[in-house]
Amino acid sequence: MATLQEFKEDLPLLVESGLIAIKQGDEDSARKLFNAVGIIDPQNMSKKMGFGLIALHKMELGSAKNYFEDVLEVEQANWRAQAFLAFTYILSVLQEGEHKEKHAALKKGAELAKEVIEKSDAPATRQLAQSLLDWEQELQDTVEGDKGPMG
């Protein structure tokens, strides 16, 4: 019978399969795959990252924020988690809330995204962060003008 350690080499496949399941809208399979990662390697942050992405996909922004923050507590230089945390802050502006809260969320999201651009070596992660900064400026104009879905 195989031990859990023997499955560690399969972790990248489980994570990738979980990401595919999220893209296909199969939350149940995604959760099972990310749970398997956590069972095989409890220290691996891919489980929390995956759960954060599931929550983000469902627009459960509070849960997503918590998962990404949990990842960053353990892996401070996880720029992908930070980029998705920035995305979560910026998306929160589309939900109900006061003008001041929306402005603060945009500011926090922009700060996180700027740091990702400055420090990440991964082109896709940097591109996500740059897209967030571009979108943040558009949303900032909307919040300041108090118009559209923000008003």
Taking the complete model, does pTM exceed 0.75, yes or no?
A: yes
Query: Which stretches of the chain score pLDDT less than 70?
Result: 1-2, 4, 145-151
Looking at domain 9-75, its CATH class is mainly alpha
Q: If 0-12 CB within 10 Å is exposed, 13-18 middle and 19+ buried, where does residue 37 land?
A: buried
Q: What is the pLDDT of residue 97?
A: 79
